[in-house]
Amino acid sequence: MNNLFKHFIYKNVVCFLSSDNKEFISPQGSNAILSKDGKTLILGCRSTILPEGVEVIGDNAFMGRYSKLFLRIPETVHTIGCGAFKYCNTLFELEIPQSVQLIDSEAFSHCLNLKTVLLKTSVDAISSNTFSHSYNLTNVNLTENDEKILNYAFKRCMNLKTVQTLRACRHNFYATYIDSFSYK
């Protein structure tokens, strides 16, 4: 992305793409900018509907701009990029499907009202700072075997009480910076 495009995003200016744009598309009704093949969501806004067929939610795609209370990631997504939903403060509940293989660092950090996360997938690791500073996060349910919870994955999640998982995972709770915590 060039600097001019980034400037428009941060200023919340509406972007329009011409039909002959060689790099990006914006499918009818999605309110999103996608890669030309439609597999990577580059930019979403408050009213974006995550289109089926999207495989990657790009870095900072919704940063501060997702305004729905509940987020269910489509089954076609396998990667959630760095900071993809960072600062999305209206998000209360999150469901991540089995198809997701990678959740990059800070993907859901600073989501101040996020309370519950249901992770229906087995990822190699919950990246560093994935949920950091999500102060109201109280419950994380890992329904599959997640190998590692990396340092600071839940940093400053002061209200986090429970992380449930089917099997034991390797982790360093000291590094998650949690004040009161129960591991089940």
Position 177 scores a pLDDT of 42
152 or 40: which carries more pLDDT confidence?
A: 40
Position 174 scores a pLDDT of 43
Distance CA 76, CA 90 (A): 24
Domains recognised in the chain with CATH numbers:
54-184 (3.80.10.10)
| Average of per-residue pLDDT across 144-158 | 76
Query: What is the per-residue pLDDT across 16-57, written as a single tens digit (0 to 9) for each?
Result: 677 778 888 888 778 888 999 999 999 888 878 888 899 999
Q: Is 7 helix (H, G, I), strand (E, B) or coil?
A: helix
Q: pLDDT exceeding 70 applies to what percent of the chain? A: 76
Partners of 44 in the β-ladder: 32
Question: Of 14-23, 47-56, 97-106, 175-184, where does mean pLDDT reach its minimum?
Answer: 175-184
Position 10 scores a pLDDT of 42
Query: What is the per-residue pLDDT across 83-96, written as a single tens digit (0 to 9) for each?
Result: 999 999 989 999 99
Helix (DSSP H) and strand (DSSP E) numbers for the chain:
2, 15
How confident is the prediction for the chain on average, in pLDDT?
Answer: 79
- Side-chain-side CA neighbours of 153 within 13 Å: the count stands at 17
Q: pTM for the full model? A: 0.82
Position 107 scores a pLDDT of 96
